[in-house]
Amino acid sequence: MKRTIGFLGFLICLVLILTPKTFAATVTVELQGAIVKFDEATGTITSATVTADVVVIPEEIDGIKVRAIDNPSTSTNSNATGVFEDDDLVAITLPSTLQFIGNRTFRNCANLTSITIPSSVHTIGDRVFANCTSLENVSISYGVTSLGDAVFFGCTRLSEIELPNSVLNVGVSMFKDCIRLKTVTLPNSIRTIDNNAFENCSSLEHITLPSSIVEIGAAAFKNTALTAIVLPDSIITLGEEAFAQCELLTSVALSNNLTVLCESTFSNCTKLTSIIIPDSIATIEDLAFSKSVALSSVYIPSRVSSISDTAFEECPIVTIYFEGSQVLWAEMFKDSVLPNKVVLIYDSTIPAIDKTIVNPVSADMEMESESEIDTVIIAVIAAFLINAAIAYIWIRYRKPPIKKLPKQ
C-alpha cells in the first residue's frame, strides 16, 4: 500500500514538473514602457499600466508566447476598460506572435499616432482604436479576417486607409466620424459594408466599390462628400439612408440586381439631377429621393410595381420617364402622389437617347469611347498622308540610276 501511494505521489510530482504552465496563474511583469498582467495559461495580456510614451510588447513573456491583448470582461461588460484604454502611449510595437486584439484595447489613446498590425493577427475586436484622435498612420497586414464594430470610430486625423485582401467586411460604424478620411482602398475580399460604416466622413469624395460586395447597410455613406458612386451588379441589398445627405453627389449608377430602393436611400442629395432606376427594381420606398431638390429626371422601368407617395417628396420639378404605357401607370400608381409640375413621358414617346441623357455615368463613358475612336481615325489619316508625301518626294526627286557601259 505504501509503495502504491509513493508511486502515485511520484507521478503527480512528475506531471507538475513537466507541465507547470498548465496550472500557472496571472503574473505581473515589467516590460519596456508598461507593467502588465499576463495570463500564462492563455498567453494573454489582460491589463496594463503605461510607464513611458513608447511601449514594446515582446514575443514571449517567461518563455510563453504572447497571443492576445484582451480584458475578457469587455466582452460582457460595456463599462469594462480595455487593456490600454485611456492611456498616454504615443507608440506601441506589437509582436509577430499576436493573434487577437480584444474590445476597446486602445480606445481613447489620444496621443497614439501610428499602429502596425502584424500578419499573425486574425481578429480585431470592437472599438479597438475608437477616439484615437491623433492616429494618422495605420498599417494592417494580410491575415486579418475580422474587424469589429467602430474599430476606428472618431479617429479624426486618419486620412487614408488600405484594408488587406483578407478582410471580409467593413463593420458597423467602423470609420464613422473620421472627418479627415479621404482615401479608402477596399479589397476584393469584402462582402459587406455594414450600417454607418462611413457616416459623417465629410472629406470622403471618392471610393471604388469592388465587385465582391453584396450588401451595403443603412446609412453606410450618409453625409459624406462623395460626388459620384457606381454600385457594381454584385450588390443585391442597399440599406435605408445609404447615401442620404450626400450633398455633393451628382452621379449615381445603381446595381442591376437591386430589387428595392429603401427608405431615404438618396434623400437630401441636393445636387443629384437625374437617376436611372434599373430594370430589377420592383419597389421604391418612402422618401427614397425626398428633398433632392435638383432632381429633374427619373427613368422608371415597367417592372416597378410600387412607388411610395412620399418617394419624391419635396422634389419640386421632376420629369419621369416610364418604360410602360400610360394605362399601366394609371393602373399601378393610381393612388400615388407625385410632385407638383411632374411631367410623365411614357414608353411610346421616350426618345431612344433618353437613357444616356438620364444617366451621366453612361453618357461620360460613351463620350470617352467616341473620343477614342476619333483619335484613332485621325492617327490613321495622318499616317496615310505622311506616307503619301514621302512616296511623292522619292519619285519626284530621286536620281536615275547610272548605267555602266560594257567593257570594250
Where do the domains of the chain lie, and which CATH numbers do they carry?
A: 225-358 (3.80.10)
* Separation in Å, CA 374 to CA 362, 370, 379, 380, 385: 18, 6, 9, 10, 17
- Of residues 307 and 91, more confidently modeled: 91
At 339 the pLDDT is 59
In this predicted structure, the answer to whether residue 405 has a pLDDT above a threshold of 50 is no
Q: Which of 119-123, 319-323, 343-347 has the lowest mean pLDDT?
A: 343-347
Name residues whose C-beta falls within 8 Å of residue 392's C-beta, 6 or more positions apart in sequence.
none
What the block records as the C-alpha cell of 330 is 394609371
pLDDT category of residue 367 using cuts at 50, 70 and 90:
very low
* Separation in Å, CA 138 to CA 51, 168, 181: 23, 18, 12
Question: What pLDDT digit, counting tens, does each position of 206-220 carry?
Answer: 999 999 999 999 999
Per residue, the 3-state secondary structure of 202-246, as one string, reads CCCCCCCCCCCCCEECCCCCCCCCCCEEECCCCCCEECCCCCCCC
Q: Which of 174-178, 306-310, 390-394, 398-402 has the lowest mean pLDDT?
A: 398-402
Type of residue numbered 306: S
Type of residue numbered 117: I
At 404 the pLDDT is 45
At 379 the pLDDT is 56
In this predicted structure, the answer to whether residue 5 has a pLDDT above a threshold of 90 is no
Report the mean per-residue pLDDT for the chain.
84
At 397 the pLDDT is 53
pLDDT category of residue 249 using cuts at 50, 70 and 90:
very high
Mean of the pLDDT values across residues 6-27?
55
At 401 the pLDDT is 47
Q: Which of 220-234, 246-260, 322-336 has the lowest mean pLDDT?
A: 322-336
Question: What pLDDT digit, counting tens, does each position of 381-396 carry?
Answer: 555 566 656 555 555 5
Instruction: Indicate the burial class of 407 (C-beta count within 10 angstroms; 0-12, 13-18, 19 or more).
Output: exposed
In this predicted structure, the answer to whether residue 359 has a pLDDT above a threshold of 70 is no
At 316 the pLDDT is 75
Q: Which of 137-151, 232-246, 329-343, 376-390 has the lowest mean pLDDT?
A: 376-390
At 344 the pLDDT is 72
Q: How is residue 335 annotated by DSSP?
A: T
Mean of the pLDDT values across residues 212-237?
97
- Of residues 93 and 380, more confidently modeled: 93
Q: Which of 12-26, 134-148, 195-209 has the lowest mean pLDDT?
A: 12-26
From CA 78, how far away is CA 63, in angstroms rounded?
A: 33
Task: Count CB-CB contacts under 10 A for residue 299.
Answer: 21
- Which pairs with CB-CB distance under 8 Å and at least 24 residues apart come from 247-251? 247/271, 248/205, 250/360, 251/227, 251/360, 251/361, 251/364
